[in-house]
Amino acid sequence: MSLIYKICPASLWREAERAGHFEGAPVDLADGFIHFSTAAQVAETAARHFGAQSDLVLVSVDVGALSPALLRFEPSRGGDLFPHLYGHLPVSAVTGVAPLPLGADGRHAFPDLTPATAAFDPAEEGWTTMPDRGFIDLVGPLWVKREPEGSAYGFLAEARHLNRGGIVHGGMLMTFADQAIGFASMEAAPEGRRATIQLDTHFVAAVREGDFVVARSRVVRRTRSVMFMTGTLSVGKTVVATANGIWKLDGTARPKA
């Protein structure tokens, strides 16, 4: 998401929220367009045009929500290209409104405008989805990627996976571990069906929305009837959980899809 910013008096913005759109400050109405700044430009805009003014707000706007026909980047201060909107700003395009107080040095104190890291796209990194018409379809999709030492499995943490504390629910991590390690056992011994007998999970670190959790597993020991497995769940280089389990091997052929 690409953002641009508008500084305006808080009272003026409250009127815009009631109306559902922002027509512009007096200077915007005089110039025939609404002035905006990029993250790199907005601090200087505040210093030049809003010096010593209090009760201001910083309005963040999603460029993608504005009509390309109305938004133009045109030369202005120092020859830099500034965003100008030739029309009303719909409140629906606004992603945030933050107060812009004066600091002790007389300059405005801005929130952190560092762009958020782009969302991880498993498909772009060579992962493919594993379709499942059963329970996993409710919490998935699960992803798979072939690696030299065997397949790795992953899932992308979403809001629906979070607990009340705002982190991924332990039940989701256990579900994922059960599936991922079970798939690894089938890769190691593809004949027949199997069922989880025991799964011990240890939570090491929190998983948050947007994290891509990867499971890598290996066989510890196999007998004629059971397989002992171990697996590690990681986000990047951080281990978030470990799991050990036992799977019952059944010589009955698995039903065809």
CATH number assigned to the domain comprising residue 127: 3.10.129.10
Report whether pLDDT(196) > 90. yes
Domain count within the chain: 2
Both 220 and 131 in one domain: the answer is yes
Read off the pLDDT of each residue in 34-43 and give the average, rounded to a whole number.
Answer: 94
Both 192 and 129 in one domain: the answer is yes
For tokens 């504005």, name the residue. 66
Residue 223: pLDDT band (50, 70, 90) is: very high
- Between 62 and 56, residue with greater pLDDT: 56
104 within domain boundaries = no
User: What pLDDT was estimated at residue 117?
Assistant: 61
Domain boundary among 43, 64, 99: 99
pLDDT digit string, tens, across residues 67-102: 888 999 999 888 889 999 999 999 999 989 999 999
- In 3-state terms, what secondary structure has residue 2? coil
CATH of the domain at 26: 3.20.170.20
- In 3-state terms, what secondary structure has residue 172? helix
Both 203 and 150 in one domain: the answer is yes
Residue 19: domain span: 3-99
The four Cα atoms 28, 29, 30, 32 give a dihedral, to 10 degrees, of 80
138 within domain boundaries = yes
Q: Give percent of the chain above pLDDT 70.
A: 95
177 within domain boundaries = yes
User: What pLDDT was estimated at residue 253?
Assistant: 47
Residue 22: pLDDT band (50, 70, 90) is: very high
95 within domain boundaries = yes
Position 236, amino acid: G
Residue 56: pLDDT band (50, 70, 90) is: very high
Domain boundary among 48, 67, 99: 99
Both 127 and 241 in one domain: the answer is yes
109 within domain boundaries = no
80 within domain boundaries = yes
Q: Are 124 and 97 in contact (CB under 8 A)?
A: no
Both 141 and 210 in one domain: the answer is yes
User: What pLDDT was estimated at residue 154?
Assistant: 97
Report whether pLDDT(54) > 80. yes
Read off the pLDDT of each residue in 40-58 and give the average, rounded to a whole number.
Answer: 93
User: What pLDDT was estimated at residue 257?
Assistant: 45
User: What pLDDT was estimated at residue 178?
Assistant: 96
115 within domain boundaries = no
Q: Is the pTM of this model over 0.85?
A: no
Task: Give strand pairing partners of 194.
Answer: 249
pLDDT digit string, tens, across residues 114-124: 766 667 889 98
Position 238, amino acid: T
Pair of tokens at residue 55: 């009760």
25 within domain boundaries = yes
Report whether pLDDT(147) > 50. yes
Report whether pLDDT(255) > 60. no
Both 94 and 54 in one domain: the answer is yes
In the predicted model, what is the mean pLDDT of the chain? 90
